[in-house]
Every structure is written in C-alpha cells, then in structure tokens.
Amino acid sequence: MKNRMSHQKLGWSALMLGVLSLSSASSVAAEEKQAKPAESKKTTPARAAGGGIEQEKTVPNIESGKWTGPRLADGQPDVSGHWSNTIANHNNFTDPQGGIPNDTGTPNQQQRPLGPRGERAPSRVSDPADGQVPFQPWAIEKVKEFRSGFTNPTKGELVEPLARCAPAGIPKSLYWHGYEIAQFPGYVVFYFNSGTRIIHLDGKPHLPENIKLWNGDSRGHWEGNTLVVDVTNQNGKALFGRTGEFISENGHIQEKYIFQKGGTRFNYVAVLTDPTVYTRPFTVTVPARKWTAKDKTNGWHFEVEPSNYPANYTGKRGGLDNFERICTENNNGFGLGAAEKPQQ
Amino acid sequence: MNTLLINQSSRLHGLGVTLLLAACVLTSSLLSMEATAAVQKTPLLANGKPDFSGIWQTTSAADYDLEPHSNRKDAPPGAGIVEGNVIPYLPQALEQKKKNFEARATNDPKLKGYTLGVPRGIYYPEPFQIFQRPSDLSIVFQFGHSVRTVHTDGSIHPREDRVEDWWLGDSRGHWEGNTLVVDAKFFNDKTWLDSAGNFHSDQYHVVEYWKFLDPNTIGYKATIEDPQVYSRPWNISVILYRHREKNFQLIEDYRFTLDYDQFYPPKPNK
C-alpha cells in the first residue's frame, strides 16, 4: 500500500513549517525550496522579501474597462487557467505579511521581527483608509477573543475552521493556495484548494434565503474586463484568516474581478456589507496573477504537474494535472488545536 | 332541397373527415419526425464529441446496496445493479464485507461526510454536475462538493513514481465512437461502494463507459476489478437522468462540517 503524503498534505506541511517557525532561517529556506517564486514579469510590482508564498508587497492598479483579449465561443473573456494571490496567505487579514498576532503559547513562539508597517504589503481592507474592518464593538471583542485563544484553543469556536478542513469561503479562498478558474457557457467555476465555487451567469434568481452555504450563492455577469458577482446565502462560518475577522449569515458580498489587459493579472475587489457585524460597508482588495505551463510548479501557488503523454503521442502536450483537492483526509488532528471531534 | 342539403352536408362532413385525417397524419408524422430529431440530437461539443455538460442523477436504489436486497429498516428494496447479481468476493474479503454490513450504521464513510469515491458518487442519490471542455470533464458532486477531473486530452496516467493513493483516483478518458471510456485507478482504500459495506482495496481499478441513450439520459456502465478483494472483474450499470427543473442548481453539501457548524460564526454574548 502506498501511503505517501498527498499534495494537500504537502501544502499543509509547507504552511505549517512557515507558521511554526516564521523567524527561523531554516524555515524560510524550506519554504523557498518548496515554493520557489516564478520568474518576475515586467509588470510585476515590488517584490516581497519573504519569497515563497509572499511574492510581492504592492497592489497593481487595474481599471475596469473594455476587454480586448481573447474570448470564448460564448463571448466570455477568456480568463481560464491557474491563478494565485501575490501577497500572502491567510495568517493575517489586515497585515497580510505581518504573521499571526499573539503568536505565543505553542512551539511557534518566536515572532518574526517586523520592521515598519510600510515595508510590508498593505491591508486587504482598501476602504476605509485605516485598513481596518469597521466592526461593531461586540464583533471586535469576538475577534480579540479568537486571537488570544488561537494558538491554544480551549473552545470549539477558537479553532480556525479551515484547520478542520472546512471550505475557506469568501474572501479567504482567494488567498489560500493557488486555484483554477474554468469557464463554460453560462458559468465561471473556481476550483479552490478548499472548496468549489460555481458562479452562475444565466441570471437565475438566488436560492431561497434560509439556505446558508460556506461559499454562498453566486450570480455573475461580465462588464467588459470585469466579472461582477453578487453573493448571498452565506453561512458566515468561514473566517477571513487566522486573525479571526468574520461576516455573519446576514452578510452580502458584491465582488468584482477586474482583469488586466493581457489577462495575466486581476484584482479582486469586494464590498462586504453586514448590518449585524459592521458599522458600514467596507472593501477588500486581493491582487492575483496567472500561472501557466511556462512557470515552474510551486508547492503553494501552482500545485500542478505536467501531464504524462504516451511516447508516440503527436497532439498538444500542454496538460497540467492538479491531482486532488480534497482535505477530508487531513481531518484527523491537524495542528493548532484542531481535532477530528470538536472539543467540548 | 333537403336532399341537396344532406348531400352538401355529407360532402362537407366527408371533407372535414378527410381534412382531420390529413391533419392527424401530418401531426403524427411531425411528431415522429420530432422524436427522431430528438434521438439524433445528442448534445455535442464544438469538436464533435458528445457533450455531457449538465446536472445528472440516478433514480436507482444502488447506493443502499449494489446487490439485490429486500427492504430493511435503513433501505428500500432494490433489484441491484450488478451484472449477475452477486459481487464475486474472495472468501476473506467476503468476511470483511459482512463485518462492514453489520457496522454500516456507524462505519459507512458517507456518514462522516467523506468523499464518496468512484463510482459511488455517480449513483449516490444527490445530483452531480459535469463541466466539459475538449481537454477534460470535471464532475462536481453536490455531496462534499468534491471535484473529479477526467482528462480527455490524450494524456495517460501519471508515471508510477508520481502516483499516490487518491480518494477519487486518477481518471483518463478516451472516445470509442460516441462512448466516453474512462480508466480510473490509484485509489486509497477508504471509500465504500455503497451503504451495505461493499468495499475495495488500494488495488482497485474502474473502467467506465458513458453513453447518451437520448439527449437527457446517460447509460453508465462500469467494470470493477481488485485482485485483493474480488475473484474476477464485475460490471454494474445505472441510468442517469438530466435535471431539467427550472433554475435547478447544485447546492453545496459540505457534510463533513456539520459536527462543528455550531461553533461559527461568532455570536454576540448574551
């Protein structure tokens, strides 16, 4: 019986390495080895020092406008392929390259010495200007509670749900490993590392309100270079990161995926509204870049392998295998306090 | 005058019958033409291959038990979908199957929300959606929202040194006429084939045959082999129906999260 680590597990391990010893040189080296960034492109914004998952520290400006690139037979701009965020993973929502706050109490007690805030990527909250989620007072308390218990959770709600293999949800899926966008007549489909989103383009009404989903219910349409998506029916259970920010089942998310000319980048710009959690709507921005067969595979952003073809094969050989996006197999006591059975 | 009237009336009547008959013939021939057209109008991709895109589901009771079974408290009766009715277990494997059956109320992986596997996801009583391109078909199962990709770009299974034990195996398809033939292997041994404890090892190998019976119906067959568990390859077949309800869509069913759903999202303190 073969029982090698799956890709998913490799992903987790790479991440755990990063999490468990953010400051140690060996972990940086290991991360570099597993997740070597691809060649930088001319349009690439300032590079991040961290390498690995953290590739860049600025967000390019991409305007909504006409789409001049290739289209699919059904008229959709062709943006299909492999994509990943350029900034950081979900360790920290508003200081994406700042690591997990209050990271004490577990083996990963060492904190990465952080320089001035301005040397790291900006907050994913692009509005309001202070980069903070405009939480209502009760919600701030909940976030603080989550952070203080994160490394040693004593209650079920203090375990980050992604650590239990729950779908990463919105918006976290956009900065949790690379993912594939596939397009079909009437659909844009996101195959995320943890969860799948089907965006319906046919204008059908949303599901009845009382149906609540990890990834919500998505209706989209194209406006030039921009995929506009309305998300309702969320269960509010997926946190935004290891820093505990959240939305509730009353939340509404209006997303724009604004694709750059040339189709190698997009900015995800989403307005989150929830009168039961926030004091006002706010905007989340996540930059992403495309990965293609020309790039080296990468243990976090681009977890694919070139397909295998028979020796006598004469057709096109561009296929990429993304073997399996299943996390349930890890649902057995993953670190940071998650257990197969929730703690009572 | 009366005679004339009668004659005229009778002539008119005759004309009416003739017209009616003609109309009937025309209608029925139109109908049969339509039926013929429907049979011939298999959905096709631009490359001329059958296009299985859509949302599909079986009506069979296969997931309760692949083999013929009477009703029982946890299953309706079913005639089974195994060719020859009986799965040809090796003696030791049959003992394991019996143990699985006895423990099915707790050990069926579906109860834990685990990925259903191949081909269980196909005949599990929840819809799945096929997204198809010339290079591949992706099957998104409502149960667990897991994704199985069948490559149809001429690629073959990964080299042995790249192979792992996967929940959904590695699937490579090719076309034999209008039939999609899929070879799936490199599975783990954690999935069951149904709720009755039918199982396999990691030597499991499935060959599937997908073919349109009409534009809204797929005939699905599979040959299953596993030298560690069965004495010979065996076959199953089910029919899959297209969901045509207005606005029908998959509704994600991340079953495995239910145990801890209660903890999220954060709620105001009371």
**What residues 170-199 of chain A have any CB closer than 8 A to a CB of chain B?**
182, 184-185, 187, 189, 191, 195-196, 198
Do B95 and B28 share a structural domain?
A: no
Buried b (16+ CB within 10 A) or exposed e, A190-202: bbbbbbbbbbbbe
Do B215 and B104 share a structural domain?
A: yes
User: Is the peptide bond preceding residue B265 cis, with omega within 30 degrees of 0?
Assistant: yes
- In angstroms, rounded to a whole number, what is the distance separating the alpha carbons of residues B82 and B223? 10
Provide mean pLDDT across the span A280-301. Answer: 94
pLDDT at B56: 98
Closest-CA residue of chain A to B187:
A2
- In angstroms, rounded to a whole number, what is the distance separating the alpha carbons of residues A232 and B16? 59
Total of domains in chain B: 2
Residue B264 domain-assigned (yes or no)? no
DSSP B21-45: HHHHHHHHHHHHHHHHHHHH---B-
- In angstroms, rounded to a whole number, what is the distance separating the alpha carbons of residues A294 and A274? 42
Give the domain extent around B35: 1-41
Q: Is the pLDDT of residue A176 over 70?
A: yes
Which residue in A4, A143, A308 is closest to B164 by CB distance? A4
Residue B48 domain-assigned (yes or no)? no
Tokens 């040194």, residue?
B161
DSSP A105-157: SSS--PPPPP--GGGSPPPSEEESTT----B-HHHHHHHHHHHHHTTS--SGG
Closest-CA residue of chain B to A315:
B154
Q: Is the pLDDT of residue A12 over 50?
A: no
Do B198 and B71 share a structural domain?
A: yes
Residue B169 domain-assigned (yes or no)? yes
Strands (E), chain A: 47-51, 54-56, 81-85, 125-127, 179-184, 187-192, 195-200, 217-223, 226-232, 252-259, 265-273, 282-291, 305-306, 320-321
- Say if A319 is an interface residue toward chain B (CB within 8 Å): yes
State residue B145 phi and psi, 5-degree precision: 50, 30
Tokens found for residue A247: 């939305």
Render pLDDT for A130-156 as a digit per residue (tens, 0 to 9): 999 999 999 999 999 999 888 778 888
Q: Does A198 sit within 8 Å of B165, measured CB to CB?
A: no
pTM across the whole model: 0.85
Residue B47 domain-assigned (yes or no)? no
Among the listed residues B190, B146, B150, B195, the one whose alpha carbon sits nearest the alpha carbon of residue B174: B150
**What residues 80-119 of chain A have any CB closer than 8 A to a CB of chain B?**
none
Length of chain A: 344
Do B79 and B164 share a structural domain?
A: yes
B215: CB partners within 8 A, 6+ apart = B38, B41, B42, B43, B242
Tokens found for residue B8: 């005229």
CB atoms within 10 A of CB B112: 16
Closest-CA residue of chain B to A248:
B265
Q: Which of A253-262, B32-41, B260-269 has the lowest mean pLDDT?
A: B32-41
- Are B172 and B163 within 8 A, CB to CB? no
Which residue in B158, B164, B269 is closest to A138 by CB distance? B269
- Are B133 and B156 within 8 A, CB to CB? no
Render pLDDT for B126-161 as a digit per residue (tens, 0 to 9): 999 999 999 999 999 999 888 999 999 999 999 988
- Say if B171 is an interface residue toward chain A (CB within 8 Å): no
pLDDT at B23: 52
Tokens 């701030």, residue?
A140
Q: Does B131 sit within 8 Å of A189, measured CB to CB?
A: yes
* B216 vs A328, higher pLDDT: B216
Do B187 and B131 share a structural domain?
A: yes
Residue B265 domain-assigned (yes or no)? no
3-state secondary structure of B161: helix
- Say if A311 is an interface residue toward chain B (CB within 8 Å): no
Which residues in B lie closer than 8 A to residue A191 (C-beta atoms)?
Answer: 138, 147
Do B104 and B4 share a structural domain?
A: no
Tokens 């319906």, residue?
A200
- In angstroms, rounded to a whole number, what is the distance separating the alpha carbons of residues B170 and B148? 9
CB atoms within 10 A of CB B110: 20
- Say if A207 is an interface residue toward chain B (CB within 8 Å): yes
- In angstroms, rounded to a whole number, what is the distance separating the alpha carbons of residues A77 and A99? 36
Q: Which of A79-93, A330-344, B129-143 has the lowest mean pLDDT?
A: A330-344
**B8 band by pLDDT with thresholds 50, 70 and 90:** very low
Question: Identity (one letter) of the amino acid at A91?
Answer: N
Do B141 and B30 share a structural domain?
A: no
Do B147 and B73 share a structural domain?
A: yes
Question: Identity (one letter) of the amino acid at A129?
Answer: A
Buried b (16+ CB within 10 A) or exposed e, B209-220: bbbbeebeebeb
- In angstroms, rounded to a whole number, what is the distance separating the alpha carbons of residues A228 and A333? 38
Which residue in A2, A73, A246 is closest to B165 by CB distance? A2
Tokens 């078909």, residue?
B137
- In angstroms, rounded to a whole number, what is the distance separating the alpha carbons of residues B98 and B78? 19
DSSP state for residue B98 in the 8-state scheme: H
CB atoms within 10 A of CB B104: 19
Which residue in A157, A305, A323 is closest to B264 by CB distance? A157
Q: Does B266 sit within 8 Å of A189, measured CB to CB?
A: no
DSSP state for residue A54 in the 8-state scheme: E
State the pairing for strand pair B54-58/B234-242.
antiparallel
DSSP state for residue B145 in the 8-state scheme: T
* Sign of the torsion formed by the C-alpha atoms of A207, A209, A211 and A215: positive
Q: Which of A165-174, A275-284, B32-41 has the lowest mean pLDDT?
A: B32-41
**A45 band by pLDDT with thresholds 50, 70 and 90:** low
Do B17 and B86 share a structural domain?
A: no
pLDDT at B22: 53
- Say if B95 is an interface residue toward chain A (CB within 8 Å): no
Tokens 């309100």, residue?
A209
Provide mean pLDDT across the span A313-333. Answer: 73
- In angstroms, rounded to a whole number, what is the distance separating the alpha carbons of residues A177 and A173? 8
- Say if B43 is an interface residue toward chain A (CB within 8 Å): no
Q: Which of A43-47, A253-257, A336-340, B172-176 has the lowest mean pLDDT?
A: A336-340
User: Is the peptide bond preceding residue A342 cis, with omega within 30 degrees of 0?
Assistant: no
Torsion angle, alpha carbons of A191, A194, A199, A204, to 10: 130
- Say if A310 is an interface residue toward chain B (CB within 8 Å): yes
- Are A95 and A182 within 8 A, CB to CB? no
Residue B262 domain-assigned (yes or no)? no
- Are B229 and B200 within 8 A, CB to CB? yes
Do B23 and B88 share a structural domain?
A: no
- In angstroms, rounded to a whole number, what is the distance separating the alpha carbons of residues A60 and B219? 50
- In angstroms, rounded to a whole number, what is the distance separating the alpha carbons of residues A179 and A84? 6
Provide mean pLDDT across the span B74-93. Answer: 97
Q: Does B145 sit within 8 Å of A237, measured CB to CB?
A: no
Do B231 and B186 share a structural domain?
A: yes
> What's the gap in Å between the CA of A214 and the closest CA on chain B?
8
Residue B105 domain-assigned (yes or no)? yes
Provide mean pLDDT across the span B25-54. Answer: 71
Do B36 and B62 share a structural domain?
A: no
Among the listed residues A177, A178, A151, the one whose alpha carbon sits nearest the alpha carbon of residue A81: A178
- Say if B5 is an interface residue toward chain A (CB within 8 Å): no
- Say if A307 is an interface residue toward chain B (CB within 8 Å): yes
Which residue in A214, A315, A316 is closest to B252 by CB distance? A214
Provide mean pLDDT across the span B46-62. Answer: 96
